[in-house]
Amino acid sequence: MSPAVPTPRPVRRRVLAMLAAAALLPGCSFTRPTPEKRRFLLEPPLPPAGTRTQPYALRIGTFGVAAPYRDRAMVYRVTDLKFESDFYHEFFAAPAAMVAQATSRALVAARAFERVIPPGVAGDEGDFVLDGFVDALYADGRVAGKAEAEVAVGFYVTRVAFPGGVVWSRRYVERVGIAGIMPEAVADAMNAALGRILAALVRDLAAAELPGP
């Protein structure tokens, strides 16, 4: 919706009304200032250091995101088949890049591998490559008064020397309640859900029986 066109149902109002199941924001008008865009980071809490470290170098590879969540705008699920994006509230960077960076930081913090090569580093160093795919990243408002953030990520490990063969994979799904109606609450819940996923990932990877590279 163009903010210059008056309408009684701007996406922003519908989104927050969905989360609150109550108070509606006022509609757009020619006299009301255009709302400013607000940007948020996917920056989940870091997991604690684990008790086991894999004796390998792990490269962070390619991370993809399902089409509905690929852009920076926050996404809200209104019904089983209806999703809406929020023009005024978005992520600071593309979700794929932020999830890849967060995964790298989590693996380093947990000391899950002897060495973690962050995303974007040129070359083919490392023993294993970790790729990921985000297939859910949205605020779910289908149940009035019980809005939740859902995040789902699948991870895949392959050997650098033998590309194409997956030696370890797992998909994680987390749902966290959204405490309030403001976009900050949505971002906080998404970060909490992603933090839980990464904590489980580093624990499982550290304990995995990976084949020699």
Query: What SS3 string covers the chain?
Result: CCCCCCCCCCHHHHHHHHHHCCCCCCCCCCCCCCCCCEEECCCCCCCCCCCCCEEEEEEEEEEEECHHHCCCEEEEECCCCCEEEEEEEEECCCHHHHHHHHHHHHHHHHCCEEEEECCCCCCCCCCEEEEEEEEEEEEECCCCCCCEEEEEEEEEEEECCCCCCEEEEEEEEEEEECCCCCHHHHHHHHHHHHHHHHHHHHHHHHHCCCCCC
Distance between CA atoms of residues 82 and 177, nearest Å = 20
| pLDDT value at residue 110 | 97
| pLDDT value at residue 14 | 53
Distance between CA atoms of residues 132 and 123, nearest Å = 19
| pLDDT value at residue 3 | 41
| pLDDT value at residue 56 | 96
Distance between CA atoms of residues 64 and 14, nearest Å = 29
Distance between CA atoms of residues 90 and 36, nearest Å = 11
Distance between CA atoms of residues 138 and 133, nearest Å = 15
Could you tell me the two tokens for 209? Answer: 């029986």
| pLDDT value at residue 178 | 95
Name residue 139's amino acid.
Answer: A
Q: Phi-psi region for residue 86, left (φ > 0), alpha (ψ -120 to 50) or beta? A: beta
> At CB < 8 A and 24+ separation, what contacts does 79-82 make?
79/142, 80/142
| pLDDT value at residue 161 | 84
Distance between CA atoms of residues 210 and 213, nearest Å = 8
| pLDDT value at residue 18 | 53
| pLDDT value at residue 124 | 81
| pLDDT value at residue 152 | 98
Residue spans per domain, the chain: 38-207
pLDDT in tens for each of the 213 residues of the chain? 334 433 334 444 555 555 544 333 333 334 455 677 889 999 999 999 989 999 999 999 999 999 999 999 999 999 999 999 988 899 999 999 999 999 999 999 999 999 999 998 877 889 999 999 999 999 999 998 899 999 999 999 999 987 678 999 999 999 999 998 789 999 999 999 999 999 999 999 999 999 876
Q: How many CA atoms lie within 13 A of 74 on its CB side?
A: 32
38-207 classified as CATH 3.40.50.300 = no
